[in-house]
Amino acid sequence: MTHFEPFALDDKILGQGFEISQTLDQLRLEVFPPDARKTLKRFPVQEVATYLGTSVNNLKRLHLEGKGPVPEITGGGRRYYSAEQIEEARQFLDKTGKSASKKYVPQRRDNDKLQVIAVVNFKGGSGKTTTTAHLAQHLSLTGHRVLAVDLDPQGSLSALHGFQPELDKNLSLYDAIRYDEERKDIQATIQKTNFPMLDIIPANIELQEFEYDTPVAMQTSNEGKTFFSRIARSLEHIDPNYDVVVIDCPPQLGYLTLTALSAASAILITVHPQMLDLMSMSQFLLMLGNITRTLRDAGVAVEMDWLRYLITRYNPSDVPQRRMVGLMETILAQDILENPMLNSTAISDAGLTKRSLYELERGAVNRATYDRALDCMQTVNFEIQGLIHQAWGR
Ligand SMILES: Nc1ncnc2c1ncn2[C@@H]1O[C@H](COP(=O)(O)OP(=O)(O)O)[C@@H](O)[C@H]1O
Ligand SMILES: [Mg+2]
């Protein structure tokens, strides 16, 4: 038998890592050139009516009377609106709508606070990124000014919005919260997306530095000792520009997640109803609870308007999953969102081509599958939208 010849680990994995990354960069360059910008489909009138909170008939009437935006009409007589036109129609309805009491534009008013929603769970695959992307896009289509923040160094949320963390060399939130002089204003980290009312702060691997910098900074500076307020304080600079911020947290309970939670006004915990996922979530709750208690004892109370559990990738015909949901309902009661997000191939398939359900053309997958998934997604997102509006006292 031949013995192994020991080698230096760094030599080996640095070389291999570099080669894989080069080859993937090349592949991605071919598939998705760096200057390519994502575009957005047109939305059928039924969907538009849902986002506007009006009826299809009302939209048809407006169009026939020559009011508001002019939809594209296909051969079959179907009406389609661009996302920009949806917003145009909303502004039009808001100004001219029959009942003066009905507001079509849902943006914050008077003393309404900026809503900051942290989407968290330790477990990868619990649906954080999918939930964040669809919630942010839904809120933008329903007329809110939204900022999505990708706080996961893996950058999946950024990738879904057409950013390529390794190729594009975008700034990340790290640039706005770092402790040294390289720090930039948060405004410099914000990018537009293909949804007119949705901006994003993309992620890159540099975010991970915050996990290493913070313990050092805690020893040496006041800024370090108050690390948990860094996201909240940088968001203050852009507070008037948005109604809702949705943060996709990394799958770990590190300084980034804690800092996001300290900035949050609400917390959405995504959970796939399986035994291992639930066990991991209970660990997460205990750890998070203990850390926030320590913070509170130190005089820093983390206060939320609401907390909800969202059941994700649910398959109701799977008996063990049903049992886990039953167990959650018994213990968590009112804190579970009434509507779970069902498992759907429409969502996973769309994800493979870096698209969300809202970006998918109805014909791209089986129609019944698509309709069921979109219907479920709308229901979940409208329920969360209700909580946001409730926080504004509506
Ligand atoms: N409702 C759903 N139905 C089917 N697949 C889903 C659903 N939600 C998420 N997925 C898929 O599950 C995987 C993990 O989801 P993701 O949102 O990336 O989780 P996380 O961000 O928590 O790691 C992805 O491939 C995603 O496309
Ligand atoms: Mg993720």
Does residue 310 lie within any of the structural domains?
Answer: yes
Identify which of 41, 106, 191 has the alpha carbon closest to the alpha carbon of residue 382.
Answer: 106
Q: Tokens at residue 321, please?
A: 């999953």
Whether residues 83 and 222 share a domain: the answer is no
- What does the buried/exposed string (b/e) look like for 176-189 if buried means 16 or more CB atoms within 10 Å of the residue's CB? bbbbeeeeeebeeb
At residue 43, φ and ψ (nearest 5 deg) are -105, 135
Structural domain of 49: 43-96
Tell whether 175 and 85 lie within a shared domain: no
Decide whether any atom of ligand 1 lies within 6 Å of the 348 Cβ.
Answer: yes
| One-letter identity of residue 287 | M
Give yes or no for residue 49 having a pLDDT over 90: yes
Q: How far is the CA of 374 from the centre of ligand 1 (A)?
A: 15
Looking at the structure, do residues 77 and 179 belong to the same domain, yes or no? Answer: no
**Ligand 1 midpoint to CA 126 (Å):** 7
Residue 201 sits in a domain whose CATH number is: 3.40.50.300
Strands, E assignment, 249-375: 266-271, 306-311
356 lines ligand 1 (CB under 6 A): no
Pocket test for ligand 1, best of 348, 359, 381 (most atoms within 8 A of CB): 348
Confidence of residue 7 (pLDDT cuts 50, 70, 90): confident
Residue 83's CATH number: 1.10.1660.10
CA of 135 to the centre of ligand 2 (A): 14
pLDDT band with cut points at 50, 70 and 90 for residue 88: very high
The model's pLDDT over 107-121, given as tens digits with 9 standing for 90+, comes to: 999 899 999 999 999
Atom of ligand 1 nearest to the CA of 342: 1
Ligand 2 mean position, distance from CA 154 (Å): 8
Burial state string for 266-288 with b = 16 or more CB within 10 A and e = fewer than 16: bbbbbbbbbeebbebbeebeeeb
Does residue 129's CB lie within 6 angstroms of at least one atom of ligand 1? yes
28 pLDDT above the threshold of 80: no
Note the pLDDT tens digit of each residue in 8-17.
Answer: 898 889 988 8
Same domain, residue pair 74 and 184 = no
Distance 256 CA to ligand 2 centre (A): 14
Is the same domain home to 239 and 373?
yes
Using pLDDT thresholds of 50, 70 and 90, give the confidence band for residue 231.
very high
Say which residue, 374 or 77, is predicted with more confidence. Answer: 374
Please report whether residue 365 resides in a domain.
Answer: yes
* Per-residue pLDDT at 3 exceeds 90: no
Question: In terms of domains, do 286 and 330 share one?
Answer: yes
Nearest atom in ligand 1 to the alpha carbon of residue 124 is 23
- 84 and 155 belong to one structural domain: no
More confident residue, 76 or 346: 346
Q: Is the pLDDT of residue 99 over 70?
A: no
- Kindly give the number of the ligand 1 atom that is closest to the alpha carbon of 152: 21
Whole-structure pTM value = 0.93
C-alpha 383 – ligand 2 centre gap (Å)? 22
Cβ(156) – ligand 1 distance below 6 Å: yes
Which pLDDT score, from 0 to 100, does residue 27 have? 78
16 in a structural domain: no
CA distances, 291 to each of 24, 116, 255, 307, 390 (Å):
39, 20, 11, 17, 28
Look at 100 and 218; give whichever has higher pLDDT: 218
Query: Probe ligand 1: pick from 154, 252, 313, max atoms within 8 Å of CB?
Result: 313
Residue 31 covered by a domain: no
Closest C-alpha residue for ligand 1 atom 13: 125
Give per-residue pLDDT as tens, 360-374. Answer: 988 888 999 999 999
pLDDT at position 32 is 67
User: Per the structure, how many domains does the chain have?
Assistant: 2
Residue 132 CA: nearest ligand 1 atom is 17
Q: Could you read off the pLDDT of 232-273 as tens digits, one per residue? A: 999 999 999 999 999 999 999 999 999 999 999 999 999 999
In a domain, 293, yes or no: yes
Q: Is residue 36 part of a domain?
A: no
- The Cα–Cα gap between 209 and 250 comes to 13
Ligand 1, atom 16: nearest CA belongs to which residue? 127
**Residue 387: inside a domain, yes or no?**
yes
For residue 12, the model assigns a pLDDT of: 85
Average pLDDT, the chain: 93
- Same domain for 69 and 129, yes or no, is no
Q: What average pLDDT does this structure show over 292-311?
A: 92
Name the residue of 121, 130, 131, 369 whose CB sits within 8 Å of the most ligand 1 atoms, as the mutation to test its pocket. 130
Say yes or no: 74 and 158 in one domain.
no
Q: CB-based contacts of 158: which residues, under 8 Å, 6+ apart?
A: 150, 164, 165, 170, 200, 202, 203, 204
* Tokens 């852009």 belong to residue: 238
Give me the percent of the chain exceeding a pLDDT of 90.
79
In a domain, 58, yes or no: yes
pLDDT at residue 101, rounded to an integer: 66
**SS3 assignment for 9-77:** HHHHHHHHHHHHHHHHHHHHHHHCCCCCCCCCCCEEHHHHHHHHCCCHHHHHHHHHCCCCCCCEECCCC
* Cα 173 to ligand 2 centroid, rounded to whole Å: 16
Q: How far is CA 189 from the centre of its chain?
A: 17
> 212 by DSSP, 3-state: which?
helix
Three-class SS state of 367: helix
Same domain, yes or no, for 236 and 197? yes
Tell me the ligand closest to 269's alpha carbon: 1
Same domain, 58 and 185: no
For residues 124 and 82, state if they share a domain. Answer: no
pLDDT in tens, 144-190: 999 999 999 999 999 999 998 777 789 999 999 999 999 999 999 99
